Amino acid sequence: MRRHCENLQKFGVPVLICVNKFPTDTAAEYALVQEKCSDFPNVFGCVLGDHSAKGSAGTEDLANAALDIIASGGTYRPLYDHASLTLTEKIETIATEIYRANHVAYSAEALTTLKSLQQDYGHFPVCIAKTQYSFSDDPSKLNAASDHTLSVSQVHLKAGAEFVVVQCGNIMTMPAFLTGMLPLAWQPFFQQQERNSFSYSIASFTTTTATALGPLQFGYNPIESRPTRFTKQKTNPFLPCFPKTRCHYQL
């Protein structure tokens, strides 16, 4: 908790802590938690929330404290200027300032991707994907880990959302269009044909009556930075979820 308060201070935003109240807790426990939290840096206040038992009526103290913290002001500032720093500088700023790492190690694949993205997408902010159990990329390093090495394994561009995802350690991200929407048995593979157009083919079907698909073509508009055309060369009844004129899923 202290580490989180320290990190939020770097954004210029004061912290309001709510301690959830439950029937099995004691008054002594509440007093101890409030005392410790009030000593954390950048903490505006620490209040009890009894919403689990009383609903909205149990959050009146929290609501009043929130109004007070809003009235007190505060000037938000980002951790870095995403327009002036390189992608690697942004990653290293987050690694040292937020995760307290003393070094960032990149895989060969990650370095190659960062280099290829820097010219056209270097002004994008970065989004770190890592374990939620630690300030490092190692879930076994609990609490406020520091002086560790943050290992960057993969980097992915999200052009439509305008940010770059940086995967650290062994972390699985939420599946997207190709892997999440299509059955795994279809085994799709994705290949970049040229800078602004992509295609993939379905390699196999488990259904005996189904035939191989493809190629399925996606048009890519560099101005909108998102897919704008979907065409299917072969009509297939097994793909009712695919839009016929527009792909709403980001590649």
184-230 tens-digit pLDDT? 444 344 334 333 333 333 333 333 333 333 443 333 334 444 443 43
- The answer, yes or no, to whether residue 97 has pLDDT greater than 50, is yes
| Mean pLDDT across 114-126 | 95
pLDDT(95) > 70 = yes
The DSSP line for 65-96 is: HHHHHHHT------SS-TTTS-HHHHHHHHHH
Tell me the per-residue pLDDT of 172-183, one tens digit each, with 9 for 90 and over: 877 654 444 444
By the 8 A CB rule, do 107 and 153 touch? yes
* Averaged pLDDT of the chain: 76
Residue 159 CA to residue 173 CA, distance in Å, equals 17
What phi and psi, each to the nearest 5 degrees, are found at residue 32?
A: -65, -45
Tell me: the pLDDT tens digits for 23-66?
Answer: 899 999 999 999 999 889 999 899 999 998 899 999 999 999 99
Q: What are phi and psi of 51, to 5 degrees?
A: -70, -20
Q: Average pLDDT of 107-121? A: 96
Helices and strands, counts by H and E, the chain: 6, 10
What burial class does residue 66 get, using C-beta atoms within 10 Å of its C-beta: 0-12 exposed, 13-18 middle, 19+ buried?
Answer: middle
Question: What are the CA-CA distances from residue 37 to residues 33, 135, 144, 175 (Å)?
Answer: 6, 20, 16, 37
pLDDT of residue 224: 41
